[in-house]
C-alpha cells in the first residue's frame, strides 16, 4: 500500500449546541483552518469526500449545501457518504492509494440540536420489524449494558452540533506539509448484524476484526480515542481491540463524532504527544458498525 498520512485536523469548538449557523457555515471555518495549518489552499486538493445526514438536516441533499464550503469551482473530484465522517476519511485513504492524487480532504457536519435524536435514530432501524417499536438509542444502550453485566445508563451523552475536517497526503507530499505526519499504519471497518437478537451484545465482533485488520495489536498504543457513548461501550471496545485504556465521547455530535475521535488520534501523533495512536468510529445500534484507524509517527 502507498504511505498515506493525516497531516491536518480541525474540529469545531467542542460541545456546541443550539447553533444558529447552517452546516455549511460550521464547515467553512474548519476547512479553512485545516488547510491554513499546513499552508495549502483548496486548489491543492485532488480529491474530496464529504459526509452528512439528510435526517439531521431535515431536508434531502444535505451534502449539496455543504459542497459550498469546498468552493467547488472549477469542478472538483468529490464524493459523499451518508455515514460518519470517519468513513469519508476511509474513502479518501482508498482514493490516495492510486498514485494520481497526493492530497485529499475529508469532512463531515451534523447539527443535532434541531432534531429529536431519539426519534431520528429510530428511523435508522429495520423499517419492518424494529422501527415500528420506536426503539431509541438509550434503550439499546441499556440493553447492551445488561449484556455485559454493567449498570444500565440513564442518560446518553449530549447530542451536540459540530463540523470537522481532515487533510490526508501521500508519501513525500505528506513529509513536505508537516514535520510529523500521522501515517495510517492500518485502517479497516466492519459491521455486525443489525438485529440485536442475532448477535452476542456483550462483544463486538466487527470491532475486533476491524482492529485486527488495522493492526492495533502489532505494537503498543500510546493513546486511543473511541466512539464510546457509555462506560460499557468502552469496555466492549477495549476488549475487542485489546486496549487497556481509551477516551470515550464526552458529547456526541452525530456524523462527526467518529471523525473527531479519529482526527484527534491522528493529531496526537502530529503534535508529538503520541508515537502510535488509535481512532475509532461507530454507527448503528449497540456498536453495530465499527471503523478502526492506527496512526504512527
Candidates 13, 82, 172, 273: give the one binding another protein (CB under 8 A): 82
Q: Does 27 bind another protein (CB under 8 A)?
A: no
If the CB atoms of residues 63 and 107 are measured against another protein, the closer one turns out to be 63
Instruction: Report d(CA 216, CA 172) in Å as an integer.
Output: 25
Do residues 52 and 63 make contact, with C-beta atoms less than 8 angstroms apart?
Answer: yes
Q: Does 63 bind another protein (CB under 8 A)?
A: yes
Q: Which of residues 118-177 bind another protein (CB under 8 A)?
A: 120-121, 123-128, 130-131
Q: Does 256 bind another protein (CB under 8 A)?
A: no
Candidates 25, 44, 76, 239: give the one binding another protein (CB under 8 A): 76
Q: Does 280 bind another protein (CB under 8 A)?
A: no
Burial class, 149, CB count within 10 angstroms (exposed 0-12 / middle 13-18 / buried 19+): exposed
User: Would you state the cell numbers that stand for residue 244, as one nine-digit string?
Assistant: 487497556
Burial class, 100, CB count within 10 angstroms (exposed 0-12 / middle 13-18 / buried 19+): exposed
Q: At what angle do helices 205-214 and 231-241 cross, to 10 degrees?
A: 50
259-297 burial, b if ≥16 CB within 10 A, otherwise e?
Answer: bbbbbbbbbbbbeeebbbbbbbbbbbbbbbbbbbbbbbb
Q: Does 191 bind another protein (CB under 8 A)?
A: yes
Q: How many residues bind another protein (CB under 8 A)?
A: 63
Candidates 21, 33, 176, 205: give the one binding another protein (CB under 8 A): 205
Beta carbon of residue 149, minimum distance to another protein (angstroms, whole number): 24
**Which residues are near another protein by CB under 8 A?**
1, 48, 53-55, 58-61, 63-64, 67-68, 71-83, 87, 90-91, 94-95, 97-100, 120-121, 123-128, 130-131, 188-195, 198-199, 205-206, 209, 283-285, 288-289
Amino acid at each position: 500500500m502507498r504511505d498515506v498520512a493525516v497531516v491536518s485536523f480541525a474540529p469545531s469548538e467542542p460541545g456546541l449546541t443550539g447553533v444558529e449557523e447552517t452546516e455549511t457555515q460550521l464547515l467553512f471555518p474548519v476547512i479553512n483552518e485545516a488547510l491554513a495549518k499546513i499552508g495549502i489552499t483548496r486548489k491543492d486538493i485532488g480529491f474530496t469526500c464529504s459526509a452528512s445526514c439528510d435526517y439531521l438536516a431535515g431536508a434531502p441533499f444535505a451534502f449539496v449545501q455543504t459542497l459550498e464550503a469546498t468552493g467547488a469551482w472549477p469542478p472538483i473530484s468529490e464524493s459523499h457518504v451518508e455515514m460518519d465522517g470517519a468513513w469519508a476519511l476511509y474513502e479518501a485513504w482508498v482514493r490516495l492509494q492510486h498514485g494520481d492524487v497526493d492530497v485529499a480532504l475529508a469532512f463531515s457536519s451534523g447539527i443535532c440540536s434541531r432534531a429529536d435524536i431519539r426519534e431520528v435514530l429510530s428511523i435508522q432501524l429495520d423499517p419492518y420489524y424494529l422501527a415500528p417499536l420506536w426503539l431509541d438509542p438509550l434503550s439499546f444502550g441499556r440493553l447492551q449494558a445488561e449484556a455485559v453485566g454493567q449498570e444500565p445508563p440513564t442518560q446518553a451523552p449530549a447530542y451536540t452540533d459540530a463540523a470537522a475536517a481532515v487533510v490526508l497526503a501521500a508519501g513525500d507530499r505528506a513529509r513536505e506539509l508537516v514535520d510529523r505526519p500521522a501515517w495510517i499504519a492500518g485502517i479497516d471497518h466492519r459491521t455486525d448484524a443489525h438485529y440485536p437478537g442475532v448477535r452476542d451484545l456483550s462483544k463486538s465482533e466487527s470491532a475486533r476484526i476491524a482492529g485486527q485488520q488495522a493492526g492495533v495489536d502489532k505494537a503498543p498504543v500510546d493513546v486511543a480515542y473511541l466512539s464510546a457513548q457509555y462506560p460499557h461501550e468502552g469496555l466492549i471496545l477495549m476488549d475487542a481491540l485489546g486496549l487497556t485504556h481509551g477516551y470515550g465521547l464526552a458529547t456526541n455530535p452525530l456524523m462527526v463524532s467518529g471523525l473527531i475521535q479519529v482526527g484527534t488520534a491522528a493529531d496526537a501523533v502530529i503534535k508529538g504527544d503520541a508515537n502510535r495512536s488509535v481512532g475509532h468510529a461507530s454507527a448503528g445500534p449497540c456498536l453495530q458498525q465499527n471503523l478502526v484507524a492506527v496512526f504512527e509517527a
